[in-house]
Structure 1
Amino acid sequence: MVMNTDKNANETTTTRGDALLTRSAEAETCADPSSVMTLLGESSGTGGFTSYRSTFATGAVGAPAHFHTKATELFFVISGSLQVLVGEEVTVLNAGDFLAVPPHTPHAFAAAPGCEADVMFVFTPGMDRFDYLRLLGRVLRGEADPKEIAESSERFDNHYVDSPVWRAALESAKAEAAK
């Protein structure tokens, strides 16, 4: 295996799919008004996982209730606190907490009320999802039609569901922030 370890390298370097090195200064980012996603490793270049890091501003709403049919989604909270829905339960993950959500399990996430969050996400097995993250940014900036998100559900294995529990959690957080 050969891996580029030059700290001034401008690119991600892999050889034979054995190793992936993504320099933080060179990683692509996608941003919306309340979060920044740093794209770290896509399935086609990793041999089996997809990973990105998201930083959420205070009050940021992450993903609405959804599930994946193929991938387990892993969450690791680097700092701050993340409110999550798993099935019908809402809980808060704090710095150092880890969560694995298996396929077909509805889940959602947002910065916990009054908190910022910095979170590492990993999907395994991976699939090329960076185009989905880019699409979200275009929709939020008004450059793409929101219908494109629904139309891409099979391609990106992202299936949205209604969750009264999650809606209530978001409304409660919104009410707390307004006080």
Structure 2
Amino acid sequence: MSSRHSEALVVPAATAEIVHLPHGGAFHLLADAVDTGGEVSANRLTLGTGADGAAPHYHALSSELFYVLAGTAEFFLDGTLTTAPAGSLVVVPPGMAHAFGAAPGSTTDLLIVLAPGTQRFEYFRQLGRIQHGHADFDSLLPEQQRYDVHFLPATPWRRSGTHP
């Protein structure tokens, strides 16, 4: 599990690694578990108009917090579709199936925090490669335990289908 981290972490926006996505969005990698003694991991995700953010999945060990900074997001939460406008907070407990993306006709900007944290920066880099067509989604399947991202195959959640 995690050990108590005794130092503050400050990540200026200009120092965050950015993984660009083809729909005009990006992952902003803010804090990996190694940076916080395993307490949390955090990223900011911007999504283009109507873009999917994640295929249906669950986390066995961590809760995932989403704060909608701008735009409107859609969340698939244990089978229910929920719309979350700017200023909304969504907390998904361990084990709950979920997916998310920008609502149709909207972009969205999300702050995402996983607690306890998991080393996931390489996961986000791989998602970027997948979205750009440089890797296959199946490349993530053997890594589900490592990243605590357990995909739910054949679980459609939006009219547009699912994308990682």
Q: TM-score, normalised by structure 1?
A: 0.81
Q: Does 1:91 align with 2:93?
A: no
- Provide the residue aligned with 1:8 in structure 2: none
SS in structure 2 of the partner of residue 153 of structure 1: helix
Larger proportion of helix: 1
The size of the alignment, in residue pairs, is 154
The CA deviation at 1:17 is 4.1
CA distance in 2, matches of 1:112, 1:143: 26
Q: Do residues 38 (structure 1) and 40 (structure 2) align?
A: no
Q: Classify the secondary structure of the residue corresponding to 2:159.
A: helix
Give the Cα–Cα distance (whole angstroms) in 2 for the partners of residues 170 and 36 of structure 1: 23
Determine the structure 2 residue equivalent to 1:81. Answer: 72
Q: CA RMSD in A?
A: 1.5
Residue 13 of structure 2 corresponds to 24
Kept in 2, the 8 Å contact 1:17–1:45? The answer is: no
Matched residue, 2:56:
65
Identify the residue that residue 163 of structure 1 maps to in structure 2: 155
- Identity, in percent, stands at 36
In structure 2, the partner of 1:4 is: none
Q: For 1:170 and 1:43, how far apart are their aligned partners in 2?
A: 34
Q: How far apart, in 1, do the equivalents of 2:119 and 2:80 lie? A: 29
1:84, 1:90 within 8 Å by CA — same for their partners in 2? yes
Structure with more contact order per residue of length (Cα contacts < 8 Å, sep ≥ 6): 2
Q: Deviations over 1:84-120 (max 9, x none)?
A: 0000100111111001000110000010010010100
1:2-151 correspondence runs (5 A): 17-34=6-23, 35-47=25-37, 48-151=39-142
Q: Which aligned segments of 4 or more residues in structure 1 are displaced greater than 4 angstroms?
A: none
- Whole-angstrom CA distance in 2 between matches of 1:147 and 1:40: 26
Mapped to 1, the partners of 2:84 and 2:50 lie a distance apart of 15
What secondary structure sits across from 1:110 in the alignment? strand
